[in-house]
Amino acid sequence: MAKNRFDTGGGPSQRQLRVGELIRRTLSDVLNRGDIHDPDLNRMSITVGEVTTSPDLKIATAYVLPLGGQGKEEAIDALKRNKGELRRAIGKQLTLKFSPDLRFRIDDTFDRMDDTRRMFADDHVRQDLTPDQDD
């Protein structure tokens, strides 16, 4: 299988992680301050859990969740509607060669954590996790 110049064979690079975290902080600050000129978006309290970037740093995917987990689709729609203004705000605050194209996805980390807790609470699973008394 041929490798392209972006295929590092592992996870994200240190640079991708660093830029993703800078974008996450900046996006959180912009949303918390209500700097965007959209009253619908400013009424929402949105948590930015993580931002991942493409290897060339031209695409940033923000994993977001509205407070309480209610109105997920409305939050995504509002963010997409204001993508240009959010992108400009990030570009102003960060010194990147290119301001990345923003994509928004629902952060399902908490749902997966709840599913994992339920799985570990199941009697059949718990029985497999406890050491045998006969050993």
* Residue 18 belongs to domain with CATH number: 3.30.300.20
List Cβ neighbours of 109 (8 Å cut-off, separation of 6 or more): 49, 50, 63
Can you list the residues of the chain whose pLDDT is less than 50? Answer: 1-6
Number of domains composing the chain: 1
pLDDT tens-digit map of 38-61: 998 989 999 999 999 999 999 999
Residue 49 domain flag: yes
* pTM given for the model: 0.74
Does residue 100 fall inside a structural domain? yes
For residue 69, the enclosing domain spans 14-107
Please tell me the distance from the alpha carbon of residue 22 to that of residue 24, in angstroms, as a whole number. Answer: 5
In a domain? residue 69: yes
Whether residue 67 lies inside any domain: the answer is yes
Residue 8 lies in a domain: no
